[in-house]
Amino acid sequence: MLLLLAACGVAFNLNASVAPAEPRTLLVEVRDIPADEQTGEGSFVASDYNRERVVSLIRNHALLLATPAELDELAAAGFAPKVIMENKDQLVLYRRALYGPTLKLDPYYHSYAQIIARADELMRAHPRLMQRFQIGETTQFRQPIYAYRISNAATMAQDRPAVLLNGAHHSDELIGTETVVRMMEKLIAGYGSDPVVTRWMDQLEIWLVPVVNVDGHNVVTSGHDPRWRKNLRDVNGDGITGVYPEGVDVNRGYNFNWALGGSDQPDAYSYRGPHPFAEAENRAMRQLADLQQFLLSISYHSQGEVIFYPWTWGGRPTPDDAVITRIVRNVAAQIGKMDGSGTYDMSPGGPSSQSYPWFYGRRGTIDMIVETGKGSHIFSAEDAAGIVQENLKGAAALFDHAFGPGLNVRVTDATTGAPLVAEVWLPRIDNETVDRRHSNAEFGRAYRLLEPGTYYVVISRPGYETVVLPEQSVAAEGWTELEVAMKPVAGGE
């Protein structure tokens, strides 16, 4: 793989309002930064979309790029800046800031090859518990993208609720991948000995996609460029890849209000590509959603210590807002922040081209983006290990919500007993913002998480008599099971 790497070269002055006259050649450390300097118009505002000056800001400790004049301004403002490195190549400065003194990623983090090898090792040792699926390949280098199904009988599909964890839509956001890998190890090691893990694997299907954006992930984990966010599509067609910031933002490529998300400018940090599902990475996730109907999902990102979920749209929440906010609140409450000040925040996101609006709006999956850690995308091994352990607690809470309460509908042909794909509609909840939910083809099964209460349910399919249940009760705990045998219409297909 040929990677020609270049620094972005854009620069701003101390308050990021005007570009400095000279390039930033200094990597500077500033400690003990007051809280008011980290927000609003402060001098140390960290932004996911602008890291041309503040590279990281962790526990009041900043690493930033500066010119000699900006260094003097910091000192004059009462800070105590320390020059860590001077280099005319900004990429070298970024490597030092984010990789550390070795300019290489800490071995705590896994390369994609190491992840595949570890998964293969677990599958060889426990072939009944884990199965691998290639769900697609990368846009540029056609590398395989793998999903792993884990349960007590993973070699065949089970008629159970399914949950999904995935990482590295954005290739520099490595904590999600490490969380997924460690959950994989936890599940396999804990089956039969840990009663909580055993319950999950006996009653659920758990799917893991450690790395969605494999090409980009390789750029970061190989030590080439810690800033890389997008995939490696050769957008300008010059035959050269890896020139920052080329590529497409994989988490802006889903077909749900696609034009509302990201940017249409190819050099933008959040370039969404030429059309929805243009990127093979997005098509791989769609292929997975075609293969398995998921009840719940976490898409891991960084940073911010906040969970984004569907959605606020025109001032309106989702049809399932009561259920979604209850689940997200519980997941967030399990994940401690790095500074010990509390647990993760939660916020409804917009209905844009990201994974969580698409999974929910198109497929009925309650998907949430968990922004792991605070102040950087790449953390020290010590910090990373702590962030991962906290996020495993959040994933555990998610799994527990897959046991209800809600409606568990099985739809069959009344004559043959065969499972049917049928629309399962709650007309007093659902509206035009979401696609209708359906039972799956393999089992005729549809799961719907609900608050306890009474619901108006309609089950329909062309060629069959519509079933209307105007007062279907849902219990306070567990799944309320509903068997629906649909009668073919005389003369129908």
| β partners of residue 480 | 407
Same domain for 143 and 241, yes or no, is yes
Q: Does the pLDDT value for residue 160 go beyond 50? A: yes
Contacts of 434 (CB under 8 A, 6+ apart): 318, 319, 360, 361, 364
**Cβ contact 28:83 at 8 Å:** yes
Which of the residue ranges 28-42, 101-115, 155-169 would you say has the lowest mean pLDDT?
28-42
Give me the pLDDT at residue 2, please: 35
Which three-class secondary structure string do you get for 320-389? CHHHHHHHHHHHHHCCECCCCCCECEEEECCCCCCHHHHHHHHHCCEEEEEECCCCCCCCCHHHHHHHHH
Residue % of the chain over a pLDDT of 90: 90
pLDDT tens-digit map of 175-230: 999 999 999 999 999 999 999 999 999 999 999 999 999 999 999 999 999 999 99
Distance between CA atoms of residues 160 and 293, nearest Å: 10
Note down the domain range covering 473. Answer: 406-486
pLDDT tens-digit map of 70-79: 999 999 999 9
Same domain for 152 and 297, yes or no, is yes
Task: Read off the CATH number of the domain in which 458 is found.
Answer: 2.60.40.1120
Same domain for 69 and 126, yes or no, is no
- 312 in a domain, yes or no? yes
Same domain for 396 and 319, yes or no, is yes
491 pLDDT tier (thresholds 50, 70, 90):
low
| DSSP states along 435-488 | PPEE--TTT-EEEEE--SEEEEEEEE-TTBPPEEEEEEEE-SSSEEEEEEEEPB
Give me the pLDDT at residue 52, please: 86
- Residues 43, 49, 54, CA angle at the centre, nearest 5°? 30
Q: Is the dihedral of CA 67, 222, 380, 100 positive or negative?
A: negative
Distance of CA 299 to the CA centre of its chain: 2
- 19 in a domain, yes or no? no
Give me the mean pLDDT over the 244-261 stretch. 95
Q: Does the pLDDT value for residue 8 go beyond 70? A: no
Contacts of 370 (CB under 8 A, 6+ apart): 176, 298, 299, 300, 301, 307, 331, 335, 344, 391, 394
**Cβ contact 111:119 at 8 Å:** no
Same domain for 347 and 235, yes or no, is yes
Distance between CA atoms of residues 84 and 64, nearest Å: 10
Give me the mean pLDDT over the 134-149 stretch. 98
In the 8-state DSSP scheme, what is residue 258? Answer: G
Same domain for 204 and 283, yes or no, is yes
Give me the pLDDT at residue 234, please: 95
Contacts of 291 (CB under 8 A, 6+ apart): 133, 135
Judged by DSSP in three states, 184 sits in helix
Start-to-end Cα distance in the chain: 53
Same domain for 248 and 359, yes or no, is yes
- Residues 147, 149, 155, CA angle at the centre, nearest 5°? 125
Q: Does the pLDDT value for residue 26 go beyond 80? A: yes
- 8 in a domain, yes or no? no
**Cβ contact 310:299 at 8 Å:** no
- 346 in a domain, yes or no? yes
Q: Does the pLDDT value for residue 86 go beyond 90? A: yes
pLDDT tens-digit map of 305-359: 999 999 999 999 999 999 999 999 999 999 999 999 999 999 999 999 999 999 9
Same domain for 384 and 410, yes or no, is no
| β partners of residue 341 | none
End-of-domain residue from the set 401, 433, 467: 401
- 11 in a domain, yes or no? no
pLDDT tens-digit map of 334-349: 999 999 999 999 999 9
End-of-domain residue from the set 99, 127, 146: 99
End-of-domain residue from the set 52, 67, 99: 99
Whole-number mean pLDDT of the chain?
93
Same domain for 67 and 34, yes or no, is yes
Task: Read off the CATH number of the domain in which 202 is found.
Answer: 3.40.630.10
Q: H or E element: which one contains 397?
A: helix 381-401
- 145 in a domain, yes or no? yes
Give 49 or 485, the one with higher predicted confidence: 485
φ and ψ of 298, to 5 deg:
-120, 130
Same domain for 93 and 124, yes or no, is no
Same domain for 381 and 449, yes or no, is no
Distance between CA atoms of residues 222 and 337, nearest Å: 28
148 pLDDT tier (thresholds 50, 70, 90):
very high
- 474 in a domain, yes or no? yes
Give me the mean pLDDT over the 424-439 stretch. 96
* CA dihedral angle for residue 240, residue 302, residue 400, residue 132, rounded to 10 degrees: 20
- 16 in a domain, yes or no? no
Give me the pLDDT at residue 492, please: 57
In the 8-state DSSP scheme, what is residue 303? Answer: S
- How many domains, the chain? 3
Same domain for 193 and 342, yes or no, is yes
- CA distances 175 to 15, 61, 146, 178, 219, Å, are 29, 20, 18, 5, 16
